[in-house]
Amino acid sequence: MIMTLRETMDELQELEAEFNKLAIADFTIPTYSYVSVVELSNYLAGESNEDPYQNPHVRARLYPELPRSKYVCFYPMDKRRQGNDNWYMLSMDERKSLMRSHGMIGRGYAGKVKQIITGSVGFDDHEWGVTLFADDVLQFKKLVYEMRFDEVSARYGEFGAFFVGNLLDNDKLVTFLTV
């Protein structure tokens, strides 16, 4: 799994073009890609008149740095739109309340799992990308399992394929690529 963050689509495409010029590109076959953007959640928006871009917590969410954790997990997801389980037919207040309780479960993993949530409506087949980082790979399983019982996931969540990988620093990457 290769993951990168760039500020613009142009930069992302330039990086892809540069990768494709490398000798190793001849030995790789892209099997999956996902494009999404880091953005502010409507469910976390406050009522204050504060400029969110001046808030350090908001800026940390908008301009994340990839953690140096040992493991990464990625999965795309959607909110269900069927019958009585149509997320988008709920009022904004109902959705905010549900997301608040959902987020409280995630807070129980603070210090163990870091997440980056990205939006992909109009860019890819799903609505969001969820990327988790941890030094203990089992934390992904525990967190996702616990979240499955929360109403937001159990009733309204639809999940794509899960991908798990190891973070390779430069030394490990060289060893990994040595034939």
Is the full-model pTM beyond 0.85?
Answer: yes
Residue 7 lies in a domain: no
Residue 27 lies in a domain: no
Residue 112 lies in a domain: yes
pLDDT higher for 43 or 106?
106
Q: Which domain holds residue 123?
A: 35-177
Q: How many domains does the chain have?
A: 1
pLDDT higher for 1 or 109?
109
The pLDDT value given to residue 44: 62
CATH number at residue 152: 3.30.70.1030
The pLDDT value given to residue 78: 96
- The residue length of the chain stands at 179
Residue 67 lies in a domain: yes
The pLDDT value given to residue 47: 58
Residue 10 lies in a domain: no
Single out the catalytic residue among 53, 63, 71, 75: 75
Residue 156 lies in a domain: yes
Residue 64 lies in a domain: yes
Residue 32 a catalytic site member: no
Quick: pLDDT tens for 26-47: 988 888 999 999 987 776 655 5
pLDDT higher for 174 or 96?
96
